[in-house]
Structure 1
């Protein structure tokens, strides 16, 4: 096998199946037929001598060999895209509907947008802010082209942007009282961090109460700064004025969360460009 025998069409089919989770959805994203995508994956597996996907009647998943193929495939596609832009001189244009959680929008989005806008000034972005579960529903309904969200339990779709352990956060001088139920500041259901926090506290038999609920991170942050209580949150996307609370023995350790990018949708090249900007930002952390 030589690298020139693996064309970008095969690699794009591989990435589309990876990101959408099915051959049918990948075909829809690529604007082709399911049988074509299936043939492309079969040819790619033949050329590489590797079984890249494990298939069942409902969904496909990466094999161990497929996992090791993801990064090289993305790098090669990025090189193809860079060369294509250089040779054609045609800038990306279009409209992209992007959904993200408020913590990402308030902390990281300005840096991501600065990088993306410099490279693609003619792309119009329509940004939707919401809880991860709501963003998944909007993406599946075709209302968003690409989303950055916390991975939903049991959903293998998406490209991993980063993983981290959820932290308990509060105002820097916040003092815990172990004799009273833990006052929680939480998003309303459905919320990934809400579910993780409650399940973790229940498993540890730690008493708790919901002291403040809001769908707005700004409101939750204000409550935390006022000393109303404590909340589970991403350390990497930590709001200003808050700090991690780590008194040993008083709080159970929260599990890891994974932030993933789902897409591209209808605006394939534009969505891939935004995905690259997000992954580049994530790699710097």
Structure 2
């Protein structure tokens, strides 16, 4: 008995929906309309003769068959993309001393770097993570070949590859009291998040007090999740048990944050460009748009 073929395009749409939790966000991630993504998933279910998602007006979740399908679909997509690169692009090999800011899609980065390593087995990554300012200093001291870091709004070098909205966030059970100064959790200075928080509250004449200063973004997340206070970070830092604060009179609108890459023109430029292309093709979620090379 001959089984039907599964089209890569259908699998790519299915994976995007599973990873973003939304047909609309999946469409943004793969460059298709929401209706086109929905049709692709329906077509996949028709071929398989099974449901891969449980849908309701409020939620979207993988079925048990969908969970099994996701594991296999990722393997098939990875094999497809690896084969196409091997046949159409020069083999990429070498070492790259890479600095990646803690600001950059913390929920997706470990999985993406692991997948990059499987697709490009000839590339050795010497990875350094930390705050953007520290990474840029290491790059200037020639301790890193490339950096993916947050732009600071002061004409920083590099090409923007990711944009994401900043949000006010607190623990899910945080008790807001607008009769008291806002309790802020912030990074040590200098820090653009810190500056944006203070400027935004000062603009609406909202009093504030710093209740916690941390030396890392993980420290900020822990303090906020524990209920110490409120902070400003990119939306991808919102975890289970946290909430986004949306009262505009007390929590004023915030700008987008931008992530840029430096090092594309250096001695390891070929590897950097391969990495950036891989990331721009595979990142999903609420950020964007990813900027074309």
TM class by smaller structure:
0.5 to 0.7
- CA-CA distance at 1:233 after TM superposition: 0.6
Partner in structure 1 of residue 272 of structure 2: 271
Q: Distance in 1 between matches of 2:250 and 2:172?
A: 16
Q: Quick check: 1:148–1:261 contact (8 Å CA) kept in 2?
A: yes
Q: Distance in 2 between matches of 1:225 and 1:99?
A: 27
Q: Quick check: 1:150–1:192 contact (8 Å CA) kept in 2?
A: no
* TM-score, normalised by the number of residues in structure 1: 0.64
Q: Distance in 2 between matches of 1:277 and 1:239?
A: 25
Partner in structure 1 of residue 125 of structure 2: 125
1:159 and 2:193 aligned:
no
1:142 and 2:142 aligned:
yes
Partner in structure 2 of residue 257 of structure 1: 257
Q: Which runs of 5+ in 1 are unaligned?
A: 1-81
Q: Distance in 1 between matches of 2:152 and 2:140?
A: 13
Partner in structure 2 of residue 102 of structure 1: 102
Q: Could you say if the C-alpha distance between residues 181 and 115 of structure 1 is closer, same or farther in structure 2, counting changes exceeding 3 Å?
A: same
- CA-CA distance at 1:175 after TM superposition: 2.5
Q: Secondary structure in 1 aligned to 2:282?
A: helix
Q: Distance in 1 between matches of 2:242 and 2:161?
A: 24
Partner in structure 2 of residue 173 of structure 1: 173
Q: Distance in 2 between matches of 1:158 and 1:283?
A: 22
Q: Could you say if the C-alpha distance between residues 86 and 216 of structure 1 is closer, same or farther in structure 2, counting changes exceeding 3 Å?
A: same
Q: Distance in 1 between matches of 2:115 and 2:245?
A: 33
- CA-CA distance at 1:87 after TM superposition: 7.0
Q: Distance in 2 between matches of 1:210 and 1:124?
A: 42
Superposed CA RMSD in Å reads 2.4
Q: Distance in 2 between matches of 1:87 and 1:252?
A: 49
Q: Could you say if the C-alpha distance between residues 219 and 167 of structure 1 is closer, same or farther in structure 2, counting changes exceeding 3 Å?
A: same
Report how many aligned residue pairs link the two structures. Answer: 203
Q: Could you say if the C-alpha distance between residues 280 and 103 of structure 1 is closer, same or farther in structure 2, counting changes exceeding 3 Å?
A: same
Q: Distance in 1 between matches of 2:228 and 2:124?
A: 40
Q: Distance in 1 between matches of 2:198 and 2:117?
A: 39
Partner in structure 1 of residue 247 of structure 2: 247
Q: Distance in 1 between matches of 2:196 and 2:101?
A: 17
Query: For residues 49-128 of structure 1, what are the structure 2 equivalents within 5 Å?
Result: 86=87, 91-104=91-104, 106-128=106-128
- CA-CA distance at 1:156 after TM superposition: 5.2
Q: Deviations over 1:104-123 (max 9, x none)?
A: 37322123213311211121
